[in-house]
Structure 1
Amino acid sequence: MSISSSASPAGHPSVSFGKVGVLLVNLGTPDGTDYRSMRRYLAEFLSDSRVIEWSKLYWYPILYGIVLNKRPQKVGKAYEAIWNKDLNESYLRTYTRNQGEKMAERLKDLPDVVVDWGMRYGKPSIAERIDALKQKGCDKIVLFPLYPQYAASTTATVNDKAFEHLMKLRWQPAVRTVPPYHDDPAYITALANSVRATLSTLDWEPQLLITSFHGIPQSYAKAGDPYPCHCHKTARLLREELGYSDKQLRITFQSRFGPEEWLQPYTDKTMEALAGEGIKRVAIMNPGFVSDCLETLEEIAGEAGEIFMHHGGEKFVHIPCLNDSDDGMNVLEAVVRRELQGWV
């Protein structure tokens, strides 16, 4: 029950408390595909020291002198190709909003729970939504970074940003951060169901299912990041759930950036080589992404498919992310209800 304090001394503001907030946080999105919007988004993203761990003395001259002058146009064109024209926004924003609204509907049996959503980069910001939840009487908040596998450059930077804002608040809400759920049975089942559903629509059978995860530099993994272990476990559990052999499912890593060696095998290089191995029919999915976005729609459904077909492939299909599907929402709801235990 939300309570508005009426016992405050004269001249002091009344406050509301007694509710529990659930804040779903995804990576982020530019507000538009134009140069200024893209530059603003990329500047915030690429200046995050969790994302690029190089010394600022070395990285910032490159970022502000080269990257932010050239990359906004290129990335803007890529976003333009997969933009949700109906709502004039990225599909990541569309799906994250839908996930927030559907989560609120699913938790209607818990009247003291308030659901909201935000972005690590861009709008709506984490700080803005924490303040909004506080204003609605939430003195406890479950912070849910929407990443099944933990990485410092994703999960940790969401938590960092939230606690950075909490440091500025006189009355901090109690906060729980949601742990990774890369091996959660509901998540593995949902992934397997999505594979079966897509393959059931085809008039051909893939020889290989590729699970393409976003990569990180190998140096991050060597420094102790558990991300590659989480990805491999997800892929293994999915293979077992589907009843596939080692030869029927393969794990790859995409989206490398800069001169460092990243986690391998690389998705694009794998797609180039498959036909030479006699593999002409391929299905690919992105288990590490909760919502379809630039990296899944443009980089994988688009570019990876083109690479495969150009190098001798014959049949290709991209399996969509779980997005706001019933199975996808079942996963998010199961995680949220587990993390709410003891608070509601």
Structure 2
Amino acid sequence: MTPFGVYVHVPFCSVRCGYCDFNTYTADELGDGATRASYADTAIAEIRQAAASVGRRPVETVFFGGGTPTQLPAGDLVRILRAIDDEIGLVPDAEVTTEANPDSVTPESLAELRAAGFSRISFGMQSAVPHVLAMLDRTHDPDRVPLAVAWARGAGFEHVSVDLIYGTPGETLDDWRTSLDTAISMDVDHVSAYALIVEAGTAFARKVSRGEVVVPDDDETALKYELADSVLGDAGFAWYELSNWATSDAGRCRHNELYWTGADWWGIGPGAHSHLAGRRWWNVKHPAAYASRLAAGDSPEADGEDIDIATAGLEDIMLRLRLREGIEVAALKNVDAMVADGLLGVAADRVVLTLRGRLLADYVIRSVT
């Protein structure tokens, strides 16, 4: 049976960061019917709809993302997880992840989550440098991150990750090294590092268009990626996906691997996407509209599409080539040219992106498909 996971989108944030284009909202942006207090019950209503569709099916991973899931009380996250188990069914060793901001957890909330079966937590660290955090509109104290990590480990979380962003305007190479060194100094077994992308329609994009900030060029961004791979590699972290490093295979994010390997998942929450049996669909985006539909007993689905064989094959290549395991040579074209250019390496009947190939991954993918 195709592996199956559940994604739970929690759309609440205390502050909306200027660079973020995720489907998130502060309390002031939402009207009646989409409150944090009522959100768990609304999500559970969709879980019951999902159960009516898929029946009892082994749930291998659950991922609470957002937004900031830990803006909800720990007890609400636990109720949602229990509903997934009761209505659909968790496997005994299910990976259960929540994202969190360092300032949205306490030792008590983390202990409650761990006791309920949460096994993995990913903290939004972004940077260890105050002026970089300020540019990103991040409000947490950088000293709070190692404290939150220590609390998570003390609560018994098996896997702890931090998310970093590089390429923020004003961030020097030394700033980026400081963030990497700080992440490594903590008791984490996973690091995600993403280049800052200026998304249209965000406050950050408006600053760029007005000339208030200047984003770094591609060469500087590439240099910071190479530094990340070197520093993390020297500290015992191995890349397993373009933007993700782990100290062991056990530390890899199993839920994200469902996405990258074409498995099935059901997305709970406003704007959440799902993929099941060759079809994908997505929910209405606004939390009030989402809550209204479920309160009426209706599906929150906004639209969807069937995935034809050709599209599925192309997407499979695009995603699996990003992984350390690479992909079968027979699935690709122009492999010899990419190898000659130092962008792909060949091992047995598989090809894998080289470090240079990772820097030019979009170009490589276009060239081999």
TM-score, normalised on structure 1? 0.29
Greater strand percent: which structure? Answer: 2
